[in-house]
Amino acid sequence: MKTYSNPRQGQTLMMFSVATVTIFGLMGLVVDLGWSYFRKEAAQAAAQAAASAATAAAAKSAGTSISCTSLNVVCQSESDCPAVIANGGVTNIDKGCLYAKENGFSTSGRQRVTISAGTSTPAVGNGATPRYWVTVKINETLPQLFSSVLGFSSAQVTARSTSGYFPPALGGCIYILNPTSQAIQLNGNITLQTGCGLNINSNYYAALKLVGSAAVTATGGSSINIVGGYVVDTNSALSPTPVTGAPTFRDPMGDVPPPSVGACDNTGLSTSNNDKITISGGVYCGSITVTGHSVVTMNPGLYIIKSGGLSVGGQATLNGSGVTIYVQSGSVGLAGGASTNLTAPASGSWQGILFYQDQGDTSSASLVGGSGQFMTGVLYFPTTHMDYNAGSSTTAQQATIICDTLNVTGNSYIAASGNSPFMTLFSGIGVLE
């Protein structure tokens, strides 16, 4: 019997060998990419810890007057962390390098850790202007154990973090948080008088704008502080002269978490003509609407409005002492024809906080009750535009306004701040990137 060999057998073996190399190479690439991702996360955590530690050490050494000449505080261009740090570190830069090393990264072998610091504006691109900042960069070369068969012999892992020291927030009645836009405007024959100052976080050239015969006055030795600038018409008045180029500040209540929202206790409230109703705190899953000459009294407590917001108008009256109103979704509207008299709790979990609109709710607020509106406490609308008109020269408010942007629509007077122990008016370390 004659036998014949199959010439394709060798070809199949060759194709299988090539495919096997490719398959194992791709599998190795997946493994190496996973390891590279893990190392990048570790490097990022180490960079952030090192930057924060160096900034905190500077603040501890120098306090609020921190500068490049402060004892054990270093300002420098990007430089390598030393491989060996003697005596447990002396300067704040030493402390940062030690934190990086304790987290597994130092300038040796395949790793490089660099650190820079200063008091100028950091190159983070978000407009933040801390008084002092530290940037830590980490670079690591990783040998590729498996994917090298595909020609990838090594991979680069990089991480970067910048931490800044922010001085204490300036005391004041009004904090406008928007960082880039026109923050506050008065148009016409309008007066805003504050006994505890005005702070504007925007770097816009006309962050404060007065049109017509508008006037802003800070009394009692308080000041007007603006990160950017201001524009004032000839007939307008501004006193004292604002401090421009002021440092940016953090949201004074940015660290205060919202209340937990549970199941509904009420579907909502809508009054009819001449109703007289007393309500209690709880979770309202619909709006609270007070109108038609009605009178609503709020018992002390926490009022959570899940949707729909709060509306008071039509010659209605809303009274409440010891109340906190948290709006999770919806707007707050207090109309000029209404009478509103609300006071925040004097103690307890929400001490000093009258209104708290959720940071995820950008619905505009309108508090334009005029002379019939009296509110004592913190009015917290951090991501919201607010139209405001309240108080009078003889019965001035005790309130703190925190909002994104503000438009004053009528004469408004605030005699003193409505403070809460939960307002973070103290200095702090912020991670900028």
Per-residue pLDDT tens for 293-319?
999 999 999 999 999 999 998 889 999
Q: What is the pLDDT of residue 82?
A: 87
Task: Report the chain's mean pLDDT, rounded to a whole number.
Answer: 86
Domain assignment present for 425 = no
- pLDDT at position 20 is 57
pLDDT of residue 150: 56
**Are 159 and 178 contained in the same domain?**
no
Share of the chain above pLDDT 70, in %: 88
- The two three-digit tokens of residue 400, written as one number: 């703190």
Q: Helices 8-62 and 92-102: crossing angle, nearest 10°?
A: 150
Identify the pLDDT of residue 28.
Answer: 58
Number of domains comprising the chain: 2
The CA distance from 298 to 189, in Å, is 35
d(CA 54, CA 49) in angstroms, rounded, equals 9
Q: Which residue has the higher pLDDT, 353 or 23?
A: 353
C-alpha span between 57 and 72 (Å, rounded)? 9
Specify which residues 282 forms β-bridges with.
303
Asked, for residue 422, whether it belongs to a domain, the answer is no
Domain membership flag for residue 1: no
| Cα 357-362-364 angle, rounded to 5 deg | 85
* pLDDT recorded at residue 153: 67
Q: Identify whether the C-beta of residue 352 lies closer than 8 Å to the C-beta of residue 375.
A: no
Q: Using pLDDT thresholds of 50, 70 and 90, give the confidence band for residue 283.
A: very high
Of 226-235, 309-318, 423-432, the least confident: 423-432
The pLDDT of residue 377 is above 60: yes
Q: Are residues 193 and 86 in the same domain?
A: no
On whether the CB atoms of residues 416 and 193 are closer than 8 A, the answer is: no
pLDDT at residue 91 tops 90: yes
**Both 158 and 277 in a single domain?**
no
Contact present, 278 and 233 (Cβ < 8 Å): no
Last residue of a domain, one of 147, 166, 185: 166
Same-domain pairing of 231 and 329: yes
In a domain, 239, yes or no: yes
Domain boundary among 144, 166, 188: 166
Task: Of 58-72, 100-114, 325-339, give the lowest mean pLDDT range.
Answer: 58-72
Verify that 154 and 209 share a domain, yes or no: no
Which of 141, 166, 191 is the last residue before a domain boundary? 166
| In the predicted structure, residue 411 carries a pLDDT above the cut 80 | yes
Judge whether 345 lies within some domain: yes
Q: How high is the pLDDT of residue 184?
A: 94
Residue 79 belongs to domain spanning: 14-166
Alpha helix positions (H), 103-252? none
Q: Is the pLDDT of residue 254 over 90?
A: no
pLDDT at residue number 84: 85
Strand order across the 111-118 sheet: 76-80, 111-118, 132-143, 154-166, 428-431
Give the residue with greater pLDDT, 170 vs 72: 72
Residues 300 and 268 in one domain: yes
* Same domain membership, residue 210 and residue 90: no
Confidence of residue 169 (pLDDT cuts 50, 70, 90): low
Band (pLDDT 50/70/90 cuts) for residue 328 is very high
Chain segment 96-140, per-residue pLDDT in tens:
999 999 999 999 889 999 999 998 888 876 666 788 899 999 999
Give strand pairing partners of 98: none
Instruction: Let me know whether 132 and 186 are in one domain.
Output: no
In a domain, 426, yes or no: no
Model pLDDT, residue 426: 47
Bridge pairing between strands 295-298 and 317-321: parallel
Is 138 a member of any domain?
Answer: yes
On whether both 266 and 207 belong to a single domain, the answer is: yes
Please check whether residues 139 and 192 belong to one and the same domain: no
SS3 state of residue 254: coil
Q: What is the mean pLDDT of residues 144-166?
A: 75
Nearest one of 305, 300, 354 to 331, comparing CA atoms: 305
Q: What is the mean pLDDT of the segment spanning 228-252?
A: 91
Question: Are 359 and 248 found together in one domain?
Answer: yes
**pLDDT tier, 19 (very low <50, low <70, confident <90, very high otherwise):** low
The confidence band for 32, taking pLDDT boundaries of 50, 70 and 90, is low
Q: What's the pLDDT score for residue 166?
A: 75
The reply to whether 197 and 179 lie within a common domain is yes
Separation of alpha carbons 327 and 56, rounded Å:
35
